[in-house]
Every structure is written in C-alpha cells, then in structure tokens.
Amino acid sequence: MLGADAAAVGRQHDPLSVAVARFIRAERERSRMRHLGLKVRMAIVSTILFAFFAFAAGVATIVFNLPLAAVLVLAVAFAGFQYLVGTKMALWSVGAEEMPEDEYREIHYAVEDMSKEMGIKKPRLMVAQMGVPNAFATGRKGKGTVVVSTELIRLLDQDELEGVLAHELAHIANRDVVTMTLGQSIAAIVGIAVQWLVIATGDNEIADFVLGWIAGMLTQMFVMIFVLAISRYREYVADSDAAGVVGSGEPLARALEKIQRGAQGRESNIDDSVSALCIFGDGGGMKKLFSTHPSTEERIRRLRSY
C-alpha cells in the first residue's frame, strides 16, 4: 500500500506531468488575455446595437401604438424565424449530405475528440460540393451542424483539416450563429422602423413610401456595419480557440493559406448569405467595413503568434 502511495506521489511530481500542467495553465491564461480585448470591443458594439434596437422599439410603440411587451415578442419571433429558416436554407443551398462515418472515419473521430474537449455535443457532420475549399457551421450549442466541402477534404492534410474543424466547433460552442442572427435581425428591425417613421410623418403617400424605403435600406446597411464588426471579432476568437484545442495556430494558418490559393480561379457554389458562415472569406481594402471576415493575411499573422 505504501509503495502504491509513493508511486502515486511520484507520478504527481513527475517532471513531464508538471511541465504539461504548467503549459496547459499558461495556454489558458494566454487565451483568456487574447479574448479580453476582443470581448471589450464586442461589448461596446453590442451596446450600440442595443441602443439601435431601443430606438426601433420606441418607434414601433409610437407609430403602431403597440405596448413594449408586444414589440419584444414580435422581435423575438422575427429573430427565431430568421434563425430556423436560415439554418435550413444554408444546408439546402449547398446541397449538403450526411457525411458517412465509414468513409470519413478520421474526421468523425477528430470531431468527437475535439467536441469533448470543448464541452459540447458532437455536431452533425455533412459534406457538400461547394466548388471551392471551404467549411461552415450552423445551429447552436447542443444542436449544431458542420458542413465540409469535398474540395477542402482533398486539399488539406489531416492536422490542417483538424484546425479548420476546431474553428467551426468553436463557432458552435460560442453560439456565434445565434449571435449573428440576432444582430442581423436588429439591423432589419431598425431599418423597418425608420421606413415606417418616414411614412408616418410624411404627407405624400407615394413619395414618402419611396423615401421611407430608401431611408430604411440605408439605415439597415449602417447598422450592419456594427453587426459585421462583431462577426470579424468572433472569427478571431474562433481562430484562437481552435489554436488552443489543436495545440498551435500553425495548422489552421497553413490551412488558410491553402484555402486562399485553392479558391483562386474557381467558381464558388456558395450563396452570399452562406459565405458569412464559412471558414474563408476575405475582407481587405475598402470592403473591409462590410466584410464578415477579417483579412486572411491578418488571421494567419495572429495564428502564428499564438
């Protein structure tokens, strides 16, 4: 018995075990600090979005003479409808099919292991021919789906593919799809509120309707700038989480380089509404404000610094 106790103590103080434990603690602390700055920025942008929604709710109570509770119920119903329809449309638009476990055994095993490490239920795995190497996640924590293109599977090495899968699992674990659906719903609701405010305060029905429609569209585009800022921040967080799960940012960085090269000169079958969910989507130059993703070069630079 004493020998067993001594062996147990010896294992606890084994230099390798101590070093591994220290590395894990240090990595978690670095990950927490990396997330802190992003979370502060997301909190600021989220506060601005809440202010926009409060304005829209106020307009609805005045223009339509609705109680605030009714406005909130309608807003939640609208967001829920967008989420349910959007998820189904994303899978349908790329022709996603179930990923057979006997044919893609390594992918299923890798996703199962990483899901356990992230503390989420293993998502449904699907495969699709997208024309370009890409992948995306839909759904929420506990009921998510990851879709991988056949082009991506052929292009990447196993460790690179695991980096991409870890990124998509991070989106599910962080409830990013739900968050983005809520943000897009707020933008749409604010645009509708401005449209009806212009119509209600005008005196020329046809002219005010056209003016209201234009004002509503411009307002929705303006609010979407803040929503897309959150989307870009969350891409960085998912990259960071993926690096923590696979042990390094290098595999995902190499994957992004290959995906960027592999997408050049190819025609994508991915709808614009689905591209916002994908692992790859460039956002450089003047279009940066309206991009769902940060620039690939910046993501790679950050990944290699982890």
pLDDT confidence of residue 8: 47
Residue 137, pLDDT > 60, answer yes
Sheet with 124-128, edge to edge strand ranges: 97-98, 124-128, 143-149, 135-140
Over residues 3-29, mean pLDDT: 52
Residue 10, pLDDT > 50, answer no
The label of the residue with tokens 């790679």 reads 300
pLDDT band at 119 (very low <50, low <70, confident <90, very high): very high
Annotated active-site positions, please?
Answer: 168
- Contact by Cβ (8 Å): 252, 167: yes
Residue 138, pLDDT > 60, answer yes
Rounded to whole angstroms, how far apart are CA atoms 3 and 205?
91
Residue 216, pLDDT > 80, answer yes
Distance of CA 32 to CAs 244, 250, 280, Å? Answer: 11, 19, 24
Query: Known binding site for Zn(2+): residues?
Result: 167, 171, 235
Sign of torsion over alpha carbons 123, 236, 234, 217: negative
Residue 285, pLDDT > 60, answer no
pLDDT confidence of residue 230: 86
Query: Known binding site: residues?
Result: 167, 171, 235
pLDDT confidence of residue 298: 92
pLDDT band at 40 (very low <50, low <70, confident <90, very high): confident
278: closest CA among 182, 180, 183, 184?
180
Q: What is the mean pLDDT of the chain?
A: 84
CA angle 146, 148, 152 (to 5 degrees): 150
Residue 197, pLDDT > 80, answer yes
The label of the residue with tokens 């959007």 reads 86
162: closest CA among 42, 83, 251?
251
Residue 273, pLDDT > 90, answer no
Cα dihedral value 82, 88, 92, 95, nearest 10: 130
pLDDT confidence of residue 7: 46
Residue 207, pLDDT > 90, answer no
The label of the residue with tokens 């109680």 reads 67
pLDDT band at 256 (very low <50, low <70, confident <90, very high): very high
As a whole-number percent, the residues of the chain with pLDDT over 70 amount to: 81
Write down the H helix ranges in 64-204. 68-93, 105-118, 150-155, 158-173, 176-201
pLDDT confidence of residue 288: 65
Q: What are phi and psi of 226, to 5 degrees?
A: -75, -35
Over residues 235-252, mean pLDDT: 93
Over residues 205-215, mean pLDDT: 90
Please tell me the pTM assigned to this model: 0.81
| Percentages of the chain per state (helix, strand, coil), in multiples of 5 | 75, 5, 20
pLDDT digits (tens, 9 = 90+) for 163-188: 999 999 999 999 888 888 889 999 99
Tally of CA atoms within 13 A in the half-sphere of 176 that contains its CB: 31
The label of the residue with tokens 């292009």 reads 155
- 298, with CB counted inside 10 A (0-12, 13-18, 19+), is middle
In this predicted structure, which of 2-6, 135-139, 193-197, 264-268 has the lowest mean pLDDT? Answer: 2-6
Residue 297, pLDDT > 70, answer yes
Rounded to whole angstroms, how far apart are CA atoms 145 and 149?
13
